Structure 1
Amino acid sequence: MNNLNQQASTLPLIGRILLAAIFIISGLGKIAAPAATAGYIAAMGLPLPALGVALAIAVEVGGGILLVLGFQTRLVALLLAAFSVVTGLVFHNAIGDQNQLIHLLKNFAMAGGLLQVAAFGAGLYSLDARKARPAPATA
């Protein structure tokens, strides 16, 4: 494999890891402090905060791990993109506050990167690519 092909094969993996990191770390933070997260959800006026915490953990940690592994990557990327947009609009909509505006734009930027993953797939180094390869012929 030449250098250009090596880079083209490696860059999607690196991109998936970088995109997944924020979800996994955020989900682990919610596992470490579920009451604080539930309080934040309740303060935003959303119903069933405990369920919201559980769903957020499942999406963030589960989706992040699946993204790193490159399993069902297009679907997972679409789910995480939608999650990013919705949570940005719900939790960071006070755009008069520069910090909240930055968080909202960060969520939108993550969604944009995830839509690229959804459009172009996981790349060579992924479980998706592995299952798409034909099995070697046996004699």
Structure 2
Amino acid sequence: MNITSKDITAAVGRLLLAALFLLSGFSKLTGPAATIAYIESSGMPFPKLAYLGALGVELGLASLLVLGVRTRLVAAAMAVFTVVTAVAFHNSLADQAQFVNFFKNISITGGLLQVAAFGGGMLSLDVFLARRKAFALAR
């Protein structure tokens, strides 16, 4: 396997996209009551379920993104989550901070859609597992 700068860039890109989600997830994990209260204050239904869903995306899917497991599907699911988060929590666009956070989410969604479109690259478990499967079938 010949690793190129493109492969390294793709892996670093996945890591950097996931870092924001992982940090946010750990923050939610350490302060569940405050997070659930914030979700509740936004008017979202089932705040405890939304909290668990957010943890699943921010810790679970972000970890899979870093590793490059089911990368395209994971990135697409995270993109949907990120748009929903923008609309649900950063929708007061007259407030400058909310405006910036809304469009940061939209920009992050763009990066996730790039990963969804082009995959995780050579330095992903997707590629490793596909090669392993092909090798086993060739035997």
Specify the alignment match of 1:101 in structure 2.
99
Specify the alignment match of 1:61 in structure 2.
59
Between the aligned partners of 1:48 and 1:80, the Cα distance in structure 2 is 20
Between the aligned partners of 2:97 and 2:86, the Cα distance in structure 1 is 12
TM-superposed CA distance for 1:131, in Å, is: 1.3
Q: Is 2:95 the partner of 1:91?
A: no
Aligned-pair Cα RMSD in Å: 1.5
Specify the alignment match of 2:73 in structure 1.
75
Specify the alignment match of 1:135 in structure 2.
135
Between the aligned partners of 2:46 and 2:122, the Cα distance in structure 1 is 41
Report SS of the residue matched to 1:135.
helix
TM-score normalised by L of structure 2: 0.93
1:12-34 per-position Cα deviation (integer Å, ceiling 9, x unaligned): 00000000001111011100001
Amino acid in structure 2 at the alignment position of 1:18: L
Q: Is 2:61 the partner of 1:26?
A: no
State whether residues 44 and 88 of structure 2, in contact with CA within 8 Å, keep that contact through their aligned partners in structure 1: no
Between the aligned partners of 2:24 and 2:103, the Cα distance in structure 1 is 17
1:39-97 per-position Cα deviation (integer Å, ceiling 9, x unaligned): 01110112221111111001110011000000000000000000000100110000001
Amino acid in structure 1 at the alignment position of 2:44: L
Between the aligned partners of 2:31 and 2:61, the Cα distance in structure 1 is 19
Between the aligned partners of 2:56 and 2:6, the Cα distance in structure 1 is 31
Specify the alignment match of 1:41 in structure 2.
39
Between the aligned partners of 1:35 and 1:46, the Cα distance in structure 2 is 15
Amino acid in structure 1 at the alignment position of 2:49: L
TM-superposed CA distance for 1:9, in Å, is: 1.3
User: Quick one: percent identity of the two aligned structures?
Assistant: 49
Q: After the TM superposition, which segments of 4 or more aligned residues of structure 1 sit over 4 Å from their partners?
A: none
Q: Give the number of aligned pairs.
A: 136
Q: Which ranges of structure 2 fall in alignment gaps of 5 or more residues?
A: none
Specify the alignment match of 1:120 in structure 2.
118
TM-score normalised by L of structure 1: 0.93
